[in-house]
């Protein structure tokens, strides 16, 4: 058992660009905090693992090739492995807890 006390917390002074911090890694999953500041670009590429996003604070849109989902505090989102996605139109600094299954980067790109 373990508390992930830093999950969902932004560094003192904020961040200037998209920022990622991993808090836990096991063979089967990893957990971290991802921040996209208001008005900034989300530079991520599709991952080889499934992802769950939990929005802690902020507002924006999760955009894929064929769909857009408005996100706000409390939104919980699933993105399948290999699915193109990025956060756009970030109005307020977007702070997310991200869970990868299995752990981020453990599957070989196909």
For residue 104, count other CB atoms closer than 10 A to its CB: 20
CA distance 69 to 67: 7
Give residue 36's Cα distance to chain centre: 9
Domains of the chain, CATH where assigned: 19-101 (2.60.120.10)
This prediction's pTM: 0.92
Residue-level pLDDT, tens digit, the chain, 110 residues: 999 999 999 888 888 899 999 999 999 999 999 999 999 999 999 999 999 999 999 999 999 999 999 999 999 999 999 999 999 999 999 999 999 999 998 887 66
């Amino acid at each position: 058992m373990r508390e992930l006390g830093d999950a969902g917390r932004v560094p003192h002074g904020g961040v200037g660009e998209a920022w990622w911090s991993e808090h836990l890694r096991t063979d089967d999953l990893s957990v971290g905090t991802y921040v996209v500041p208001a008005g900034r670009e989300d530079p991520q590429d599709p991952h080889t693992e499934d992802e769950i996003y939990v929005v802690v604070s902020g507002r924006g849109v999760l955009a894929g090739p064929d769909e857009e989902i408005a996100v706000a505090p409390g939104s919980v989102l699933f993105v399948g492995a290999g699915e193109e996605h990025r956060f756009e139109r970030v109005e307020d600094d977007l702070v997310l807890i991200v869970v990868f299954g299995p752990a981020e980067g453990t599957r070989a790109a196909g």
